[in-house]
Structure 1
Amino acid sequence: MAIEMDEPEVDGLGAAARALRAWQYDGAQPQLHPGDLGWYWRFGVERTAAAVRTWSRDGEVVAVGLLDEPDLLRVAIAPEQQRDEELARQLAEDVSAPERGVLIEGKVYVEAPMGALVRELLQKDGWESDEPWVPLRRALDEPVEDPGVRVDVVGPEQASERTTVQRASFDGSTFTEERWHAMAAGAPYEDARCLIARNAQGDAVAAITVWSAGEGKPGLIEPMGVHRTHRGRGYGQAITVAGARALRELGASSAVVSTPGFNVGAVATYTSAGFVPQPETRDVYRPG
């Protein structure tokens, strides 16, 4: 049976999330994680459904795409299907044709596993490699050290503090208390934790959200930030260690995160928290 692309309804998001969970394993090429879907859920379930695309064969989901932006599609592919020619050709056709309703016209980007055949097909058609990203990983088979600062698990009562730290960590952030509640209501958040680190005065100075994909699978950090007025004091390392501890408690086999290669400060923070850089990844893009 041919590959079929679908924009799932709200009720169909569960199938996409289950597929993403099933495809995570240690040693795999980094690709879209259920936590990425969970983080996007802050925009609401309807908008999340509108941003998701699935590709199926014989009723089984074999690829999932998330439109992080109108010009950026992040794609996960079932590990055993990443070199499947029929799927790769269908993916390449769908992302290359604006009338298919996946990506807009002009310059657009696709993130897909580095070894996936679809990348090669797109590059043969004139797509180019973008700037490098650095994935980092910390194994969680051993207990994680104490972060050395007070760390609180965020619930509804702390949502305002959590979102305030986010906005003070990232210029242009639109993370509000309302959006935290939308994210927390999403199915992926059942296996997630938001944490805030506090200084000696009790101020919230750093925050992290971590996402488990299930027992024995890699968990994701998305995102981590330090309040701009409290940087340079080790809080990034501390909250990252706290996030790794939380993922281990959730049953994750490892903690993973990716950051742009030019962000040397972020790479240094994650490395100081016990994360090991992995081979770089690159999106592919179609020049405008």
Structure 2
Amino acid sequence: MTIVLGTPGVGGLSEAVGVLREWQHDGPPTQLHPGDLGWFWRFGAEATAAAVRTWSRGGRILAVGLLDEPELLRMTIAPEARQDEELARRLVEDLAEPERGVFTGKAYVEAPMDALVQDLLLDGGWNADEPWTPLRRDLTAPVEDPDVRIEAIGPERARLRAAVQRAAFGESTFTGERWLAMAAGSPYADARCLVAYDDQGEAVAAVTVWSAGPGKPGLLEPMGVHSEHRGRGYGKAITLAAAAALRELGSSSAIVSTPSANVGAVATYRSAGFLQLPETRDLGAPRG
């Protein structure tokens, strides 16, 4: 059967989220979690649908990609199809040819490290880009207390959550309205937003966590500490709170990924009991 590249439309987003849930496991990083779509949903359902690509055969989705940026496709593949040669070759063709509608200019791809498409892209002249560090914390045992006040955020505190995000990430455009759009997406049914406070009642850190269902890894995306309150342990505290929230949601583990160059973030996650996994790399299209 022919492999078909498509965009799901708003009506097909639930199916894409559903297969991403099914594909999550506690082995090597899958590179795309339903929470990644959930976080992108802050731009609205239509924008999210326009950024998603699916590859299907016989009506069954085999791969899902998210254009997290116009030049970056984050994708994952059904575990049983990662060595499927027909799929891998079709992916390479679609990623390399601008007229296929995935990229129109420069191109970077993030894909599972154990997928055949990685080898084919490298053989085709694609180049390894900056390394990322994935980290994981097992949630079998209870998580230690973060020792700060933690609040679960609902719609009435959306603007506060957004303000902490902007204070943590200087280029962030997150707003209360975008929080509401994110919370309206189907992935947020199994998500939580948390804010940490200092002894004076100031909001100092925030995180959003995304469950993929009971017995599956949950994702931290994003986590940030207010720029005026760094170096005081609030990153560790909010990360512990995130892990505890995912455990309450039934997640088997908590996962996160950060650029390897961000040594402070890596250290923060490790201080909260996360184990550092082998680095992953995006692949950049050949220049020429």
What corresponds to 2:2 in structure 1?
2
Residue 190 of structure 1: SS of its match in structure 2?
A: helix
Q: 2:197 matched to which residue of 1?
A: 198
Question: SS in structure 2 opposite 1:80?
Answer: helix
Q: Which residue of 1 aligns with 2:60?
A: 60
Runs (4+) off by over 3 Å = none
Cα deviations by residue, 1:174-211 (Å, 9 ceiling, x for unpaired): 00111000000000000000000001111110000000
Aligned to 1:285: 284
Summarize deviations over 1:39-83 as a string: whole Å, max 9, x none: 000000000000001111111111000001110001110001001
Q: Name the CA distance, whole Å, in 1 between partners of 2:215 and 2:176.
A: 32
Q: Please, what is the CA RMSD of the aligned residues?
A: 0.7
Q: Which amino acid aligns with 1:144?
A: V
Q: Which residue of 1 aligns with 2:162?
A: 163
Partner Cα separation in structure 1 for residue 90 and residue 37 of structure 2: 23
2:212 is matched with which residue?
A: 213
Query: What secondary structure is seen at the aligned counterpart in 2 of 1:232?
Result: coil
Residues 84 and 117 in structure 1, CA contact (< 8 A), matched pair in contact too: yes
Cα distance in structure 2, aligned partners of 1:41 and 1:158: 18
Q: Is this contact kept in 2: 1:29–1:115, CA < 8 A?
A: no
User: Equivalents in 2 of 1:264, 1:30: separation in Å?
Assistant: 22
- Identical residues among aligned pairs (%): 67
Contact 1:137 1:256 in 2 (8 A): yes
Matches within 5 A, 1:125-274: 125-274=124-273
- Deviations for 1:150-183, whole angstroms, at most 9, x for unmatched residues? 0000001111110000000011100011100000
- CA separation in 2, counterparts of 1:66 and 1:7? 10
Aligned to 2:109: 110
AA aligned opposite 1:68:
D
**Could you say what secondary structure the match of 2:146 adopts?**
coil
Deviation at 1:125, TM superposition (A): 1.2
Residue-by-residue CA offset, 1:218-238 (whole Å, 9 max, x unaligned): 000000000000111100000
Unaligned runs of 5+ in 2: none
1:43 is matched with 43
In the aligned structure 2, how far is the partner of 1:131 from the partner of 1:156?
A: 37
For the 8 Å contact 1:30–1:135, the answer to whether it is kept is no
Give the CA deviation at 1:287.
Answer: 3.7
CA–CA separation in structure 2 for the residues paired with 1:30 and 1:5? 20
Match of 1:72 in 2: 72
- Runs of 5+ consecutive residues of structure 1 not aligned to the other structure: none
SS at match of 1:16: helix
Deviation string for 1:96-146 (max 9, x for gaps)?
A: 1101110122x3100000111111111111101111100000000000111
Write the deviation string for residues 222-276 of structure 1: whole angstroms up to 9, x where unpaired: 0000000011110000000000000000000000000001000000000000000
Query: Would you say how many aligned residue pairs link Structure 1 and Structure 2?
Result: 287
SS at match of 1:22: helix
How many Å separate the matches in 2 of 1:133 and 1:104? 25
Once residues 226 and 170 of structure 2 are traced to their aligned partners in structure 1, the CA distance between those partners, rounded to angstroms, is 11
TM-fit CA distance, 1:29: 3.0
Q: CA deviation at 1:27?
A: 1.3
CA distance in 1, matches of 2:104, 2:222: 26
Does the 8 A contact of 1:139 with 1:255 survive in 2?
A: yes
**TM-score calculated relative to the size of structure 1:** 0.98
